Structure 1
Amino acid sequence: MLPDVQFDPAAPARERILFQAGSLFYQQGIRATGIDRIIAEASVTKVTFYRHFPAKQSLVVAFLEQRHQCWSAAFSSLLGQKVAEGLSLDRALPATLASWFSEKDFRGCAFINTAAELSDDNPQCMEVVKAHKRAMRDEIATKLTRQQLWALNAICMLVEGAIVQVQTGWNSKDVIKSLQQALRVLLPA
């Protein structure tokens, strides 16, 4: 779902740190990723790192905020495109998720992963996680008619469940098919 961006060794230090941290946090986890590894991968000094991010928490918050902006823009654009092509939401939403699930580096939702890893240990990060989930909910709501809004919470639970199922190894095509069937029940034509 995110644009395929390559590491730019000539980018400013803060961007290099965020790029490498984002990649490592998503692929290996926040707790499993040490600051020294990020510093080495970003080719910066410790002084430079700590000038931009005085603590790991500030880096995690910056990663989540950047991920939110990029992911939300891509989700909104792709979902909007599917709806504009004439797909009803019960087909557009699964098609949007299917394109994300098929990405080679898909490892679930960075926000679900963060919530599972950090839970209430880090309220500042959890606020970004909650804001992201509210924004996704709000985006889905824009595609519903007034008569369909009653189903919004159920739709969001189905989406979150689909993400977790695919992340935990379920066949993505089967998950998408089940999601479509459930959405058809919630959103009859």
Structure 2
Amino acid sequence: MGGPVTGDRPGDRRADAARNRAKILAAAEEIVATRGVEALAMADVAAAAGVGVGTLYRRFGDRSGLAHALIDRREREFQTTYLSGPPPLGPGAPAAERIRAFLRALARRTVDQLDLLLVAETTGPFARFGGAYHAYHRHLAILIADARPDRDPSFLADALLAPLAANLLAYRRDLTLDGVQAGLDDLLTGVLPE
């Protein structure tokens, strides 16, 4: 009888899934941009994207998974910058300068996407400690071990990341980005060599 009907081949299904993902993320971004994160309801996103709600739940799991997907593009750009971008954030600067640059950039990124991070990081007691946190922690621990081999780099990495928890920054809405960065600089005074 011939080959599979067009649209029923694995490659066609993957292309459809990729198109649906792009439509869903575009719809979700539009909702967040125009109405805020509070309006990010799965049914509304599905309707705006022209897909079924089941498709949304199968693809992203829940609202937190959708928030993570919205954060993902900027997360990848940020990781590329601190892993291979220009110094002092990227390689080529002394460890102490890279630590300071990294924390300042992470503070900026966290404040910029605070509402989405709040949704993504607070769905469970350990939701914050997923892939991005693990990458940040490892990066900081390596730099701290280089700058301060006499200290526990794992503990200090956690201590330096703690003030950037989305729920803490949301609770402390009175803090500006400059205030957060200045506070991190104060913490670094006790961590980094003089």
Q: Same fold (TM over 0.5)?
A: yes
2:41 alignment counterpart? 34
SS in structure 1 at match of 2:130: helix
1:138 lines up with 2:118 in the alignment = no
User: Which ranges in structure 1 are unaligned for 5 or more consecutive residues?
Assistant: 1-10
Whether the 8 Å CA contact 1:21–1:38 is kept in 2: the answer is: yes
Task: Give the superposition deviation at 1:77.
Answer: 2.9
Name the structure 1 match of 2:177.
Answer: 172
Give yes or no for contact 2:67–2:117 (8 Å, CA) kept in 1: no
Match of 1:57 among 31, 54, 61: 61
Equivalence map 1:1-189=2 (5 Å): 12-21=19-28, 24=31, 27-29=36-38, 33-42=40-49, 44-46=50-52, 49-51=53-55, 53-54=57-58, 57=61, 60-61=64-65, 64=68, 67-68=71-72, 70-80=73-83, 81=86, 82-84=89-91, 86=93, 88-100=97-109, 106-108=112-114, 110-116=116-122, 118-119=123-124, 126=127, 129-146=129-146, 147=149, 150-162=152-164, 164=166, 166-167=169-170, 168-189=173-194
Distance 1:75 1:91 in 2: 15
> Could you say what secondary structure the match of 2:114 adopts?
coil
Letter of the 1:92 partner, please give it.
Answer: A
Partner Cα separation in structure 2 for residue 28 and residue 115 of structure 1: 14
Shift, 1:78, TM fit: 2.9
Change (3 A) 1:112 1:59: closer
Q: Post-superposition shift, 1:148?
A: 6.0
The 3-state SS of whatever aligns with 1:175 is: helix
Q: Cα RMSD between the aligned structures?
A: 3.7
Pair 1:145–1:67, CA change in 2 (3 A): same
1:109 CA displacement: 7.1
Q: 1:148 to 1:77 in 2, by over 3 A?
A: farther
Contact between 1:91 and 1:180, CA under 8 Å: does it hold in 2? yes
Residues 166 and 84 (structure 1), Cα distance of their counterparts in 2 relative to 1, 3 Å cut: same
Q: Which has the larger Rg?
A: 2
> Taking structure 1 as the reference length, what is the TM-score of the superposition?
0.63
Whether the 8 Å CA contact 1:148–1:187 is kept in 2: the answer is no
**Counterpart contact for 1:90–1:184, Cα < 8 Å:** no
- Letter paired with 2:120: T
Measure, in 1, the Cα distance between the counterparts of 2:155 and 2:103.
Answer: 16
Shift of 1:38: 0.1
Q: Which amino acid aligns with 2:175?
A: W
Compared with structure 1, are the counterparts of its residues 143 and 13 closer, same or farther at alpha carbon in structure 2 (3 Å cutoff)?
same
Task: Give the paired residue count.
Answer: 164
Change (3 A) 1:148 1:90: farther
Indicate the percent of aligned positions where both proteins have the same amino acid: 13
Given the superposition, is the C-alpha separation of residues 67 and 130 from structure 1 closer, same or farther in structure 2, using an over 3 Å criterion? same
